[in-house]
Structure 1
Amino acid sequence: MTFTQLRILLAVARTGNMTRAAEELNTTQSAVSHALRGLESELGLSLLVRGSHGVSLTAAGRAVRRRATLILTQLEALEQEVAAARGADTGSLRVGVIPSANARLLPRILRLYGEAHPRVRLTVIEGSDGEVLDWLRTGAADVGTLTAGAVPADVAGLVTRPLATDRMLAVLPGGHALAERASVPVAELARHPFIMSTGGCEPLITALARAAGASLRCHYRVRDTGSILAMVAEGLGVTVVPELSLPAHHPGVHAVPLEPASERTILLALPADPLPAATAFAELAGVLGTS
């Protein structure tokens, strides 16, 4: 059994696809398949179920993945600590991010971290709050961003700190009757066709509507913010999005604060025993996120 085989298993488990895993690891699909067959042969177990829609882990595969995650996390920590003792700054760091934080909050942090730690290999994985939380739990990500309400109160082994606050905004087609208002109540939005974001903000938006005693007329349910804004620009409906998820220029739409004002908190999350590279990232992000 080799570390390479374990890394390949984790990549395949994360992507659910051997081709994507090979691309992520900068190798070939045949090398991925060969490594996994060798691991299964050595263990005497089937680790994967191969189907027309990709691959998934068997029960034994999930058990091996948990142990492989622990092994590789400890190996990475050892390598980084040894490098630090030598005065070097090497290793890898996997950052799990929610889309809104990745759009405008993280790029500057990533750039400055890369400049300060040029020999650390940075990998960014974008996903919903639930996906990022799962990646942190399983070791697929070493540090991540989460929405405050997305972290269960009983989650263990995770340390979080506030990174930024983010206003929730009503987004309307240009020329809409509500677009010239200084602020818009959620109850007013409920009178128009609504485009619901399914990228992670749906629970917060639903809670805002419930607090206003309103029922949103969800005509569309869309994950990608760019697609949502394009649909709003075409007059297909209105929506509510976090300010951080809006691009610097969004022609055809108008963003207005909600009434009453609503904010969400973006958290930086990392394991209780983080990698040195993750600690350095968190320290830098904490300074920049509040500046």
Structure 2
Amino acid sequence: MTFTQLRILQTVARTGNMTRAAEELNTTQSAVSHALRGLESELGLALLVRGSHGVSLTAAGRAVCRRATLILTQLEALEQEVATARGQDRGSLRVGAIPSANARLLPRILRTFGEAHPHVRLTVIEGSDGEVLDWLQTGAADIGTLTAGAVSASVPDLVMHPLAADQMLAALPSGHDLAVRHSVPVADLARQPFIMSTGGCEPLITALAREAGASLRCHYRVRDTSSILAMVAEGLGVSILPELSLPAHHAGVHAIPLEPASVRTILLALPADPLPAATALLEHALERV
């Protein structure tokens, strides 16, 4: 059993795909497959279920992967602490990011962090709040962004720091009757065909509707923000999106604040016993927002 085999297992488990795992690890699909079959042979267990739509872990595979993640996290921590003791600044850092933070908030932070710490290798993996939370809890990510309200304010073994405030906006077709207003109540949006974002904001949007005593008419359920904006521009419905997820301009879409104003908080979360590089990124980020 080697660290390489454990890293491959961890990456395949997260991506659910041999090809994507090979791309992330900068190796070939055949090398990934060979390493996993060697690990299964050594352990005498089937770790993966291989199908036409990808791969998934068996029950035994999930148990092995949890242990593998703990081992790899401790190995990385050891390597970083030794480097720090030698006065060096090196190692790797896996950053879990929700899409809106990855689009507008993190790029500048990661660029300036990379300039200040050129020997720390950064990997960004994007997912929903639930996925990022799972990666943080299993060790697949060393630090990550989450939405306050989408996760519990108190998660065992994680420490959360407010990073940024993000206003929720109504996304309307440019020629819509409501688009001439300075703000719009959620109750008015509930009278329109609604395009629900399933990329992570759904719990917050549902809570806003509940607080307004309204029931949204969800004609469409879409994960990708650019797809939602394209549908809004075509007049298929209205939506509610966080400001950070919106481009500076999108033809055919007019975004205005909700009434009353609604602001979500973006959190930066990391384990209670973080990697030195994760602590450095946290401190760097908080100084620049």
Same fold (TM over 0.5): yes
- Which SS does the other structure have where 2:149 is aligned? helix
Shift of 1:149: 1.0
Residue of structure 2 in register with 1:51 after alignment: 51
Aligned amino acid, residue 5 of structure 1: Q
The superposition leaves residues 232-254 of structure 1 with CA deviations (integer Å, 9 ceiling, x where unpaired) of 11111111100111111222111
Give the 4+ runs in structure 1 shifted more than 4 A. none
Aligned length: 289
**Residues 150 and 204 in structure 2, CA contact (< 8 A), matched pair in contact too:** no
Confirm or deny that 1:67 pairs with 2:31. Answer: no
Shift of 1:153: 5.0
Structure 1 stretches of 5 or more lacking a match? none
**Residues 50 and 56 in structure 2, CA contact (< 8 A), matched pair in contact too:** yes
Aligned amino acid, residue 203 of structure 2: P
Aligned amino acid, residue 33 of structure 1: S
Instruction: Give the TM-score taking structure 1 as reference length.
Output: 0.97
- The percent of aligned pairs where both chains have the same amino acid is 85
**Counterpart Cα distance in 2 of 1:183 and 1:78:** 52
Residue of structure 1 in register with 2:24 after alignment: 24
Aligned amino acid, residue 215 of structure 1: S
Instruction: Give the TM-score taking structure 2 as reference length.
Output: 0.98
Residue of structure 2 in register with 1:252 after alignment: 252
Residue of structure 1 in register with 2:123 after alignment: 123
Residue of structure 1 in register with 2:15 after alignment: 15
- Which SS does the other structure have where 1:87 is aligned? coil
Shift of 1:134: 0.4
Shift of 1:167: 0.6
Aligned amino acid, residue 267 of structure 1: L
After the TM superposition, which residues 141-152 of structure 1 pair with which residues of structure 2 at under 5 Å, given as runs?
141-152=141-152
Residue of structure 1 in register with 2:171 after alignment: 171
Aligned amino acid, residue 54 of structure 1: G
Aligned amino acid, residue 21 of structure 1: A
**Residues 101 and 145 in structure 2, CA contact (< 8 A), matched pair in contact too:** yes
Aligned amino acid, residue 35 of structure 2: A
Residue of structure 1 in register with 2:186 after alignment: 186
Rate the CA distance shift 1:246–1:108 in 2: closer, same or farther, 3 A.
Answer: same
Shift of 1:152: 2.6
**Counterpart Cα distance in 2 of 1:56 and 1:171:** 37
**Counterpart Cα distance in 2 of 1:88 and 1:247:** 39
The superposition leaves residues 119-171 of structure 1 with CA deviations (integer Å, 9 ceiling, x where unpaired) of 11111101000000000011110000000112235621100010011111111
After the TM superposition, which residues 1-291 of structure 1 pair with which residues of structure 2 at under 5 Å, given as runs?
1-153=1-153, 155-289=155-289
Q: Considering only aligned residues, what root-mean-square deviation do their CA atoms show, in Å?
A: 1.0
